[in-house]
Amino acid sequence: MPKGPKGQKRPADVIGNAVKVMRIATGEETEGSPVKSAAATLGSLGGKARAARLSKKKRSEIAKKAAKSRWSK
C-alpha cells in the first residue's frame, strides 16, 4: 500500500485515493497518524506482563535461544 510523506497508509487505487483526499479536505478525516488499534495496545501490554512474570534465569534462556537461532544462519 502506498504511503504518504509522513508514513501514513494511502489507498492503492486512484478512486480510493481521491476519496481519501476529499475526506481530508472536507474535514471528515484527519491526515495525522492513525490511531493505535485495540489489538496493538493489548499486545504490548501482554508482552510487558509476560516479561514481569518470567524469572531472570528464564528470560536469559529465552534470549540465548533467540540469539543462537538468529546467528546460526
Q: What is the pTM of this model?
A: 0.40
Does a structural domain hold residue 29?
no
Does a structural domain hold residue 28?
no
Does a structural domain hold residue 61?
yes
Question: What domain count does the chain have?
Answer: 1
pLDDT tens per residue across span 48-57 = 888 899 999 9
Under the banding of pLDDT at 50, 70 and 90, the label for residue 4 is low
DSSP secondary structure letters along 21-61? HHHHHHTSS--SPPPPPHHHHHHHHHHHHHHHHS-HHHHHH
Quote the domain boundaries for residue 61.
38-71
